[in-house]
Amino acid sequence: MTSFFKRYADGGISNRRIYMPQRLLPTTVSHCPLEVLVGHWEKYLVDPSSAREHFPWAARFVMGMPVPNWARGLEWNLGQKSRFISAVWSGGDLGSYLTNDWYEPVIGNRALAENSEILIDGQQRLHSLEEYLLDRQAVPDAQGQSRIWSELGNGERKRFLSMIFTHVRVSSDDEMALRRTYDLVQ
Protein backbone atom coordinates (compact mmCIF):
# COMPACT_ATOMS: atom_id res chain seq x y z
CA MET A 1 0.00 0.00 0.00
CA THR A 2 1.38 3.39 -0.99
CA SER A 3 0.87 6.44 1.18
CA PHE A 4 0.38 9.82 -0.50
CA PHE A 5 0.83 11.74 2.74
CA LYS A 6 4.37 12.81 3.51
CA ARG A 7 5.05 14.26 6.94
CA TYR A 8 8.19 16.05 5.76
CA ALA A 9 9.34 17.00 2.26
CA ASP A 10 11.80 14.67 0.57
CA GLY A 11 14.57 16.03 -1.61
CA GLY A 12 14.13 19.26 -3.52
CA ILE A 13 10.32 19.60 -3.67
CA SER A 14 10.12 21.89 -0.63
CA ASN A 15 9.87 25.65 -1.15
CA ARG A 16 11.64 27.23 1.79
CA ARG A 17 10.21 30.67 1.01
CA ILE A 18 6.60 29.70 1.74
CA TYR A 19 5.52 30.68 5.24
CA MET A 20 2.15 29.88 6.74
CA PRO A 21 0.26 32.26 9.07
CA GLN A 22 1.66 32.71 12.56
CA ARG A 23 -0.19 32.89 15.85
CA LEU A 24 -1.87 36.30 16.17
CA LEU A 25 -1.93 36.46 19.94
CA PRO A 26 -0.41 34.18 22.57
CA THR A 27 -3.00 32.17 24.46
CA THR A 28 -3.41 30.64 27.89
CA VAL A 29 -5.65 27.61 28.28
CA SER A 30 -7.46 26.55 31.47
CA HIS A 31 -9.67 23.51 31.90
CA CYS A 32 -12.15 24.67 34.52
CA PRO A 33 -15.44 23.28 35.80
CA LEU A 34 -18.55 25.24 34.90
CA GLU A 35 -18.69 26.13 38.60
CA VAL A 36 -15.94 28.74 38.02
CA LEU A 37 -17.78 30.39 35.12
CA VAL A 38 -21.07 30.36 37.03
CA GLY A 39 -19.40 31.91 40.07
CA HIS A 40 -18.22 34.84 37.94
CA TRP A 41 -21.72 35.21 36.47
CA GLU A 42 -23.36 35.17 39.93
CA LYS A 43 -21.23 38.18 40.92
CA TYR A 44 -22.48 39.98 37.82
CA LEU A 45 -26.12 39.13 38.64
CA VAL A 46 -25.81 40.76 42.08
CA ASP A 47 -25.15 44.17 40.49
CA PRO A 48 -25.48 44.31 36.68
CA SER A 49 -25.46 48.13 36.74
CA SER A 50 -21.88 48.04 38.02
CA ALA A 51 -20.87 46.09 34.91
CA ARG A 52 -22.55 48.78 32.76
CA GLU A 53 -20.43 51.39 34.53
CA HIS A 54 -17.23 49.43 33.90
CA PHE A 55 -18.07 48.50 30.31
CA PRO A 56 -20.34 51.29 28.91
CA TRP A 57 -19.22 50.42 25.37
CA ALA A 58 -20.39 46.76 25.57
CA ALA A 59 -23.02 45.71 23.04
CA ARG A 60 -24.43 43.25 25.63
CA PHE A 61 -23.32 40.95 28.41
CA VAL A 62 -23.29 37.16 28.25
CA MET A 63 -22.69 35.28 31.52
CA GLY A 64 -21.58 38.64 32.91
CA MET A 65 -18.90 39.18 30.26
CA PRO A 66 -18.94 42.22 27.96
CA VAL A 67 -19.42 41.47 24.27
CA PRO A 68 -17.87 43.95 21.80
CA ASN A 69 -20.08 45.70 19.27
CA TRP A 70 -18.21 44.00 16.41
CA ALA A 71 -19.25 40.48 17.52
CA ARG A 72 -22.15 38.80 15.76
CA GLY A 73 -25.52 38.69 17.49
CA LEU A 74 -27.16 35.83 19.33
CA GLU A 75 -28.10 33.41 16.58
CA TRP A 76 -28.60 29.91 17.98
CA ASN A 77 -32.12 28.53 17.83
CA LEU A 78 -33.78 26.52 20.61
CA GLY A 79 -32.61 23.21 19.11
CA GLN A 80 -28.97 24.30 19.01
CA LYS A 81 -29.16 25.57 22.59
CA SER A 82 -30.81 22.36 23.76
CA ARG A 83 -28.17 20.20 22.04
CA PHE A 84 -25.39 22.15 23.71
CA ILE A 85 -26.93 21.78 27.18
CA SER A 86 -27.49 18.07 26.49
CA ALA A 87 -23.80 17.81 25.52
CA VAL A 88 -22.88 19.32 28.89
CA TRP A 89 -25.04 16.74 30.69
CA SER A 90 -23.53 13.94 28.59
CA GLY A 91 -19.97 14.97 29.43
CA GLY A 92 -19.22 15.70 25.79
CA ASP A 93 -16.53 18.01 24.47
CA LEU A 94 -17.92 21.53 24.90
CA GLY A 95 -15.27 23.27 22.83
CA SER A 96 -14.02 26.42 24.51
CA TYR A 97 -14.72 30.07 25.08
CA LEU A 98 -12.19 32.81 24.45
CA THR A 99 -11.76 36.02 26.42
CA ASN A 100 -9.41 38.98 26.37
CA ASP A 101 -7.85 39.38 29.81
CA TRP A 102 -6.37 42.78 28.99
CA TYR A 103 -7.91 45.73 30.76
CA GLU A 104 -7.07 49.36 31.16
CA PRO A 105 -8.94 51.82 33.36
CA VAL A 106 -10.07 55.08 31.83
CA ILE A 107 -8.41 57.80 33.89
CA GLY A 108 -10.80 59.55 36.26
CA ASN A 109 -13.62 57.12 35.51
CA ARG A 110 -14.93 53.72 36.68
CA ALA A 111 -15.05 52.58 33.07
CA LEU A 112 -12.48 50.33 31.48
CA ALA A 113 -11.05 50.93 28.02
CA GLU A 114 -12.90 49.43 25.08
CA ASN A 115 -12.21 45.70 24.50
CA SER A 116 -11.18 45.18 28.13
CA GLU A 117 -12.12 41.73 29.42
CA ILE A 118 -14.33 40.95 26.40
CA LEU A 119 -15.83 37.64 25.37
CA ILE A 120 -14.33 36.98 21.93
CA ASP A 121 -15.68 33.51 21.16
CA GLY A 122 -18.23 31.21 22.76
CA GLN A 123 -21.08 33.68 22.98
CA GLN A 124 -23.69 31.22 21.67
CA ARG A 125 -22.60 28.49 24.10
CA LEU A 126 -22.43 30.80 27.10
CA HIS A 127 -25.80 32.33 26.25
CA SER A 128 -27.27 28.82 26.08
CA LEU A 129 -25.93 28.14 29.58
CA GLU A 130 -27.36 31.42 30.82
CA GLU A 131 -30.79 30.67 29.35
CA TYR A 132 -30.79 27.19 30.89
CA LEU A 133 -29.68 28.33 34.34
CA LEU A 134 -32.36 31.05 34.33
CA ASP A 135 -35.09 28.47 33.47
CA ARG A 136 -35.63 29.92 29.99
CA GLN A 137 -34.49 26.73 28.27
CA ALA A 138 -35.64 23.17 28.96
CA VAL A 139 -33.75 20.03 27.98
CA PRO A 140 -34.82 16.39 28.03
CA ASP A 141 -33.95 14.31 31.09
CA ALA A 142 -32.94 10.63 30.91
CA GLN A 143 -36.59 9.65 30.29
CA GLY A 144 -37.11 12.30 27.58
CA GLN A 145 -39.15 14.66 29.79
CA SER A 146 -38.32 18.36 29.30
CA ARG A 147 -36.73 19.78 32.45
CA ILE A 148 -35.62 23.21 33.58
CA TRP A 149 -32.77 23.93 35.99
CA SER A 150 -34.93 24.80 39.01
CA GLU A 151 -36.55 21.33 38.94
CA LEU A 152 -33.23 19.59 39.64
CA GLY A 153 -31.89 18.48 42.99
CA ASN A 154 -28.51 19.53 44.31
CA GLY A 155 -26.82 16.26 43.29
CA GLU A 156 -27.64 16.78 39.62
CA ARG A 157 -26.81 20.48 39.81
CA LYS A 158 -23.38 19.67 41.27
CA ARG A 159 -22.78 17.11 38.53
CA PHE A 160 -23.64 19.68 35.83
CA LEU A 161 -21.47 22.39 37.39
CA SER A 162 -18.52 19.99 37.66
CA MET A 163 -18.36 19.53 33.88
CA ILE A 164 -15.20 20.95 32.31
CA PHE A 165 -15.43 23.90 29.92
CA THR A 166 -12.13 25.07 28.46
CA HIS A 167 -11.34 28.77 28.90
CA VAL A 168 -8.84 30.24 26.45
CA ARG A 169 -7.40 33.69 27.15
CA VAL A 170 -5.52 36.30 25.19
CA SER A 171 -4.33 39.64 26.48
CA SER A 172 -4.19 42.52 24.01
CA ASP A 173 -5.21 46.13 23.52
CA ASP A 174 -4.87 45.74 19.73
CA GLU A 175 -8.45 45.73 18.44
CA MET A 176 -7.40 44.67 14.94
CA ALA A 177 -5.59 41.60 16.33
CA LEU A 178 -8.64 40.81 18.48
CA ARG A 179 -10.95 41.14 15.47
CA ARG A 180 -8.70 38.93 13.33
CA THR A 181 -8.69 36.34 16.13
CA TYR A 182 -12.48 36.59 16.29
CA ASP A 183 -12.77 36.13 12.50
CA LEU A 184 -10.59 33.00 12.63
CA VAL A 185 -12.75 31.26 15.22
CA GLN A 186 -16.13 32.05 13.65
Q: What is the pLDDT of residues 141-163, one digit of tens each?
A: 999 999 999 999 999 999 999 99
Domain residues for the domain of 90 are 28-185
What is the 3-state composition of the chain as percent helix, strand, coil, each rounded to the nearest 5? 35, 20, 45
Q: Is residue 38 part of a domain?
A: yes
pLDDT at 16: 74
Q: Is residue 3 part of a domain?
A: no
pLDDT at 43: 95
Q: Is residue 99 part of a domain?
A: yes
Do residues 23 and 89 make contact, with C-beta atoms less than 8 angstroms apart? no
The C-alpha torsion from 179 through 54 and 76 to 153, rounded to 10°, is 140
Q: What is the pLDDT of residues 77-129, one digit of tens each?
A: 999 999 999 999 999 999 999 999 987 777 777 788 899 999 999 999 999 99
- Full-prediction pTM beyond 0.95? no
Q: Is residue 14 part of a domain?
A: no
pLDDT above 90 for 22 = no
Please state the domain count of the chain: 1
Q: Is residue 119 part of a domain?
A: yes
